[in-house]
Amino acid sequence: MNYDCIIIGGGAAGLAAAAYLSIYSIQVLLIERLDRVGKKILSTGNGRCNFSNREMSAENYGNKHEFIKKLFKTTSPSEVLDFLASLGLMFREESGRLYPRTMAASSVLDVFRNALQKDNIHTMLQEKTVLITNKNGLWQVKTESKHEYIAKYLIVCTGGKAAPKMGTDGSAFNMIENLGHCITPIVPALVQLRCNSSILPSLRGLRIHAKVSLLVNKRYVNSEVGELLFTDYGLSGICVMQLSGNAADALRKKAAVSLQIDMLPEIPDSHMISWFKDRLNSNSTNTVLSVFTGVFPRMLSQAILHEAAIPCTKIAAALTPLEVDALLNQIKRYSLQVTGTQGFDSAQVSRGGVSLDEIDPYTMESRLHPGLFFAGEDVDIDGPCGGYNLHFAFASGLTAAKSIVLNQHSEEV
């Protein structure tokens, strides 16, 4: 059977596109390699699905903001939310992050599944697409089980390389490259970082509020403030995950990557000496360990003193100026060398994908092949934690679908 449009990949972007097209008399085939659609959606936001953010703006997408700005002209953030609401989804907001009212990711998937119950939407499960070709202006899609499907329009939204157990092992990028498209290097992002440091074994499992800065070849790149989690292999926590895409990119280029931790970001550098002297004075006859009581968990205080080569039993008043300097340095600028990431298996997204130069941001159509569209993580866009990746998947999927409806209608007139 021939279709008007084939969508490859039943993830967030593919479902949004299919749900939009379901409203129109466009024959759609949605092809998904797994035994169900939207498997990844179910594990997003710890099973609660943080699908967007009240603070949604193009600037959140870093150096890709110009592309997003144009995309948002076609499909504004509020249009994405209105569309989800039109499918029946009610929202709940927590610190700007948007979740389904039920706080269950299954609700997001269920509204999409409802929307696909239309005669014009056909879903093929357990069909892995292996080849895409174009003959005489029509897209031919071949699957591993030797089926062949043909359509005028094709939306490729097979996801990136993160979380391969959820169907996204990046194998689809070969098909896209075979069409002549350029794929920028793919690295894990929103992922934990592996670090080299003697402090780690003793702090495993400890969570602190910290400011973490990323340095590449000793140059400051960016920093994040938030929860930091020490693990046996390195560091985790939202602030580390936010820095991980840039770190992974730099590691790929064989640069020297390090993290600098400010364990007391509430106290600015300029106040640190007087703050510390006050604490020394009020604890002068106690051990130096007690200076940090009420500031850090005990095991962190011990680790800081150990790194500064100061015995925990030393009397506070006996600290030398050099020892004070060493301590303040450990607290405000503790440095760890980054040796790698926890890889695609642990990453929430991948960075890299179809080059933005080859996609029209107003339509998500390929600049190389008319009738071919890309959406979601296939595209060289990734956002921070907070609902920005799902929002991009939905916005780009809707934009591709809208362009197809417009093209189809203008041909019919």
Binding site for ligand FAD (CB under 6 A): 8-14, 31-34, 39-40, 43-45, 50, 128-129, 157-159, 162-163, 167-168, 172, 348-349, 376-377, 387-390, 393
Our CB check for ligand FAD shows the closer of 216 and 375 to be: 375
Amino acid at 203: L
* Shortest distance, position 379 Cβ to ligand FAD, whole Å: 8
Residue 289's closest CA among 309, 264, 314? 314
* Shortest distance, position 392 Cβ to ligand FAD, whole Å: 7
* Shortest distance, position 90 Cβ to ligand FAD, whole Å: 18
Our CB check for ligand FAD shows the closer of 276 and 344 to be: 344
User: Do the Cβ atoms of 280 and 350 come closer than 8 Å?
Assistant: no
Contacting residues for 297 by C-beta, under 8 A, at least 6 apart: 206, 208
* Shortest distance, position 163 Cβ to ligand FAD, whole Å: 4
Our CB check for ligand FAD shows the closer of 11 and 100 to be: 11
Q: Write out the two tokens for 348.
A: 């929430």
User: Do the Cβ atoms of 7 and 153 come closer than 8 Å?
Assistant: no
Spatial distance between the Cα atoms of 283 and 297, rounded to a whole number of angstroms:
17
Q: Output the CA–CA distances (angstroms, integers) from residue 360 to 74, 125, 138, 352, 363, in the order listed.
A: 11, 30, 20, 17, 6
Spatial distance between the Cα atoms of 207 and 355, rounded to a whole number of angstroms:
38
Q: Write out the two tokens for 303.
A: 């680790």
User: Do the Cβ atoms of 8 and 14 come closer than 8 Å?
Assistant: yes
Our CB check for ligand FAD shows the closer of 211 and 351 to be: 351
Our CB check for ligand FAD shows the closer of 41 and 228 to be: 41
* Shortest distance, position 376 Cβ to ligand FAD, whole Å: 2
* Shortest distance, position 6 Cβ to ligand FAD, whole Å: 10
* Shortest distance, position 284 Cβ to ligand FAD, whole Å: 49
Three-state secondary structure call for residue 208 = strand
Which position's Cβ is nearest ligand FAD?
11
Give the torsion sign (CA, 359, 364, 367, 372). positive
Spatial distance between the Cα atoms of 122 and 31, rounded to a whole number of angstroms:
9
* Shortest distance, position 200 Cβ to ligand FAD, whole Å: 24
Our CB check for ligand FAD shows the closer of 48 and 152 to be: 48
Q: Write out the two tokens for 393.
A: 């998947």
User: Do the Cβ atoms of 227 and 240 come closer than 8 Å?
Assistant: no
Our CB check for ligand FAD shows the closer of 330 and 348 to be: 348
Q: Name the helix (H) or strand (E) containing 254.
A: none
* Shortest distance, position 129 Cβ to ligand FAD, whole Å: 4
Phi, psi of 165 (to 5 degrees): -65, -20
Contacting residues for 119 by C-beta, under 8 A, at least 6 apart: none
Amino acid at 35: D
Residue 376's closest CA among 66, 64, 159? 159
* Shortest distance, position 377 Cβ to ligand FAD, whole Å: 4
Our CB check for ligand FAD shows the closer of 108 and 300 to be: 108
Our CB check for ligand FAD shows the closer of 190 and 247 to be: 190
User: Do the Cβ atoms of 324 and 35 come closer than 8 Å?
Assistant: no
Our CB check for ligand FAD shows the closer of 159 and 216 to be: 159
